[in-house]
Copies of this chain bind each other. A is one copy, B any other.
């Protein structure tokens, strides 16, 4: 179904192989040997496709689907059409994602070392590392095994990049230590000196920024995002954190593990964000705050205070989300005629 100009299907795979990737069980060995050619949504899947049923809203699509195999929660198994191989899991979407990765693994922007790349003699490249045309690799840079640097990207002196990383075209990285399996999209700028000035009436004096950016494993960073290096302490991005496009991370910010930041989020200097926190698009967090683990912040919020672990906040200035909704309702009521009003 995909456009073959852009995507290469690495299948087919047997149901057994796909079940193994996801840790699910195959009902029987006949089913396990069945060949699956592609992934597809329930309504478009054919007998050679694997699909998933995750949202009860689509139960009718599930019951009428022609998919050859399907990830589904046990409680819905009875509603499956005849002949569909059921792979039972409590997280069908996650299982789908894992098998879709088998069919369509993430494409590296480069293979091999381009003769048109500019690589310093003191740089070290791991086995199978790739550097595309026009990329510039500085002195003493270390790039791990199987990592790939995109066209016209610029990796400055001393940067360390782990194994199996993908650095997109036209990105720049300096003053940074990067873990394994990190994906950095295009036009990302990491490691520039942050916005640090001793401000004054007669001019703002630049304060040297002497820290680094330290990025863990399995991090993904969207196009156009900027991450400033620390002032002396480091800016830190924890394992498994996912950052969308056009996000700004200030100096000394510490993002925990598996944090999610949506587009246009701005995190001001020295703020710490706990593990698993999720911050909606266009929200801003002021500097020197502590946002607890698992916190959820609504889109466009303006966070001016610490937030305890597990809380949900919204609004500007941000407050607990239920209170914020109550305020929205109360404001709407202000302009409605009401009995007993003194106006």
Minimum Cβ distance to chain B for residue A305 (Å):
13
B174 contacts A154, CB within 8 Å?
no
Does A246 sit within 8 A of B, measured CB to CB?
Answer: yes
A16 → chain B closest CB, angstroms: 21
With A134-B134, A189-B223, A299-B284 as known contacts, state yes or no: A258 contacts B204, CB within 8 Å: yes
Q: Within the complex, which residue of B116, B189, B284 is in contact with A118, where a contact is CB–CB below 8 Å?
A: B116
Pick from A24-32, A60-68, A77-85, A332-340 the stretch touching chain B: A332-340
Q: Is A266 an interface residue (CB 8 A)?
A: yes
Given the complex of chains A and B, what is the CA–CA distance between A145 and B297 in angstroms?
Answer: 48
**Chain B residues with CB under 8 A of A193:** 106
- How many chain copies? 3
Task: Tell me the nearest residue of chain B to A5, going by C-beta.
Answer: B158
A282 CB–B CB distance under 8 Å: yes
Instruction: Tell whether A48 is near chain B: CB-to-CB under 8 Å.
Output: no
Q: Do A207 and B284 form a contact, CB below 8 Å, given A172-B186, A189-B224, A246-B246? A: no
Query: Of B197, B263, B327, which contacts A266 at CB under 8 A?
Result: B263
Interface of A is mostly: loop
Chain B residues within 8 Å of A211, by CB: 2
A330 within 8 A of B: yes
Query: Looking across the interface, which residue of chain B has its beta carbon closest to that of A115?
Result: B118
Contact between A136 and B154, CB atoms less than 8 A apart: no
B-side contacts of A262, CB under 8 Å: 195
Interface size class of chain A, counting residues whose CB lies under 8 Å from the partner chain:
35 or more
- Residues in B whose Cβ lies below 8 Å from that of A258: 201, 203-204
The answer to whether A151 has its CB under 8 Å from any CB of chain B is yes
Complex: how many Å from CA A49 to CA B187?
38
- A75 contacts B by Cβ under 8 Å: no
Interface pair B158/A170, CB less than 8 Å apart: no
Contacts of A240 in B (CB 8 A): 203-204
Complex Cα distance A109/B172, Å? 12
Tell me which of B185, B189, B327 contacts A189 (CB under 8 A).
B185
Contact of A222 with B195 in the complex, beta carbons under 8 Å: yes
List residues of A (174-207) whose CB comes within 8 Å of B's CBs. Answer: 174-175, 183, 185-187, 189, 192-193, 195, 197-201, 203-207
Query: Across the interface, which residues of B come within 8 angstroms of A222, CB to CB?
Result: 192, 195, 226
Docked pose: A335 CA to B341 CA in angstroms: 16
A104 at the interface (CB under 8 A from B): yes
Chain B residues contacting A281 (CB-CB under 8 Å) are: 248, 266, 268, 284
Contact A5 B195 (CB under 8 A): no
Task: Establish whether residues B212 and A3, one from each chain, have CB atoms under 8 Å apart when the complex forms.
Answer: yes
Known: A152-B154, A187-B224, A299-B302. 19 other contacts (CB 8 A): A3-B175, A3-B212, A96-B207, A97-B208, A118-B134, A152-B152, A154-B169, A186-B192, A187-B189, A195-B242, A195-B262, A223-B226, A226-B246, A264-B282, A264-B284, A282-B282, A300-B316, A323-B335, A340-B342
